[in-house]
Amino acid sequence: MDAMRAIVQRLRVSSRACERQLGVSSAQLFVLQQLDQAAAASIAELAQRTLTHQSSVSVVVTRLAERGLVARRASLEDARRTEIALTPAGRALLRRAPRTVQAELIAAVDRLPADERRGLAQSLTTLARALGAGDEAPPLLFDGDEARSGTGAGDHEES
């Protein structure tokens, strides 16, 4: 339990600092940073980069677009495809942003040997099911909905 508490605490502290310093949720910053690695990306590509479901990424991208940090546009290669791109305001925000704890967590898990990653994934899946987690796609970590939905015990609101 100490390890679980330490991870959750690290995520919570990082999320609060992100919101306080940048005015965006930790999930929003994580998506912005993943988008910064390419000129533009589709929702499906961002979902792949953030290791989450397309619907979860779409919610975060909508919030970012409302704030003028990203823009949706038709792909130059395929007009049927919508791409998401950083705006100048999004790039300016990223220049002052630290690396997200989500990126650190992914990197740490990636450094584990393959058999340990598989074991960790199986154990966490079993634990989530035992806690009653449903089969629907969970949101990105600290996407700002925890306080509104009651799942984060009022930890924070998204700006």
Residue 153 lies in a domain: no
Distance (Å, whole) CA 41 – CA 38:
7
Interval 27-59: pLDDT, tens: 999 999 999 988 789 999 999 998 889 999 999
What pLDDT is stored for residue 99 in this prediction?
Answer: 86
Mean pLDDT, residues 6-17: 87
Domain range for 53 is 2-133
> What is the total count of domains within the chain?
1
The reply to whether the predicted model has a pTM over 0.75 is yes
CATH of the domain at 52: 1.10.10.10
Q: Which two tokens stand for residue 142?
A: 């600290």
Confidence of residue 102 (pLDDT cuts 50, 70, 90): confident
Residue 110 lies in a domain: yes
DSSP at 140:
P
Residue 156 lies in a domain: no
Residue 142 lies in a domain: no
Residue 152 lies in a domain: no
